[in-house]
């Protein structure tokens, strides 16, 4: 497997990252996951814009990473992934330095890393067709969830709790508000209105969330970006998670209770169809 590491394309097994790297010592870094549809990276610029946003807020020595789009396409090519479902993973850390909490002085070179891997689209599709089971968990994360940092301890623990409960995802609840999943955004439908948490420091501004809100406009589905309260959730007619790897996946069970009839509802189906059409359109534009 060929990976990208600090300006070079190398065999992944030959890459050596310093144990002094602040990514290793402090999780002092950022990441992105971009989906590739048969060689087309979906909304790569939006993902990298979010990386740049995180870099600005982490006060990294560099805050423009748009070169990763070309690197990502090169990784797909070098790993023969241009005609299959794939994902590209990008990570940037503050780099190797003597361990001090404050930033290294003088500034050290950032560590830049990226890989491409085949994506199991069939099992994602199965979940999208049948719907998934989720649990809810208290949100124990910090207050800057708008940055996609590699510090994912709370997300890992919550997702493991989901797995132990035979669920696919855990939805974080903070102060009675259902915010988002461990690796996805959360949406619910009340009286034909799609409701999802507004963009605040308590959630990640998902690229798929943004696409879904665009699709709602096209499909004349009303949207309200406002808090979804846990106390109201049982009156939702539908629920779903959205994200790069889950796309649009309906929730049919929450905390072991069946939602409605246990089948994906009409709004999620409309959005899944619209998403398919959107992907076909995107590919036509970019492959011209």
54 binds ligand PDD (CB under 6 A): no
Least distance to ligand PDD, CB of residue 208, Å: 3
Burial, 269: exposed, middle or buried (Cβ in 10 Å; 0-12, 13-18, 19+)? Answer: middle
Give the residue among 237, 244, 240, 225 at the shortest CA–CA distance from 186: 240
Least distance to ligand PDD, CB of residue 4, Å: 18
Least distance to ligand PDD, CB of residue 30, Å: 11
89, 33 in Cβ contact below 8 A? yes
d(CA 178, CA 187): 9
With both helix axes pointing from N to C terminus, report the angle between 207-218 and 44-57 in degrees, rounded to the nearest 10. Answer: 130
d(CA 88, CA 71): 10
Least distance to ligand PDD, CB of residue 275, Å: 12
Nearer to ligand PDD, 10 or 152 (CB): 152
Q: Which stretch binds ligand PDD (CB under 6 A): 74-82, 121-129, 241-249, 251-259?
A: 241-249
Catalytic residue among 59, 148, 210, 253: 148
200 binds ligand PDD (CB under 6 A): no
210 is catalytic: no
Known catalytic residues are 148
User: Rule CB under 6 A: which residues touch ligand PDD?
Assistant: 33, 180, 183-185, 204, 206-209, 243-245
């Amino acid at each position: 497997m060929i990976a990208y590491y600090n300006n070079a394309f190398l065999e992944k097994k030959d890459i050596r990252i310093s144990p002094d790297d602040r990514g290793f010592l402090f999780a002092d870094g950022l990441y992105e996951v971009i989906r590739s549809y048969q060689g087309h990276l979906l909304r790569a610029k939006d993902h990298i814009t979010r990386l740049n946003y995180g870099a600005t807020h982490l006060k990294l020595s560099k805050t423009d990473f748009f070169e990763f789009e070309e690197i990502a396409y090169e990784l797909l090519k070098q790993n023969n992934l241009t005609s299959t479902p794939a994902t590209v993973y990008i990570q940037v850390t503050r780099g190797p330095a003597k361990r001090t909490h404050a930033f290294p002085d003088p500034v050290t070179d950032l560590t830049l890393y990226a890989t491409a891997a085949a994506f199991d689209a069939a099992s994602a599709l199965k979940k999208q067709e049948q719907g998934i089971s989720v649990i809810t968990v208290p949100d124990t994360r910090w207050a800057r969830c708008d940055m996609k940092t590699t510090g994912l301890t709370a997300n890992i623990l919550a997702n493991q709790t989901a797995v132990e409960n035979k669920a696919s995802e855990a939805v974080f609840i903070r102060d009675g508000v259902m915010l988002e999943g461990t690796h996805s955004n959360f949406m619910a439908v009340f009286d034909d209105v799609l409701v999802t948490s507004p963009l605040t420091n308590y959630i990640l501004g998902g690229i798929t969330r943004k696409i879904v809100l665009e699709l709602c406009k096209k499909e004349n589905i009303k949207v309200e970006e406002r808090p979804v309260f846990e106390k109201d959730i049982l009156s939702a007619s539908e629920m779903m998670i959205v994200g790069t790897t889950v796309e649009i996946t309906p929730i049919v069970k929450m905390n072991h209770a069946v939602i409605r009839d246990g089948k994906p509802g009409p709004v999620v189906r409309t959005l899944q169809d619209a998403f398919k059409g959107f992907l076909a359109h995107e590919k036509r534009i970019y492959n011209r």
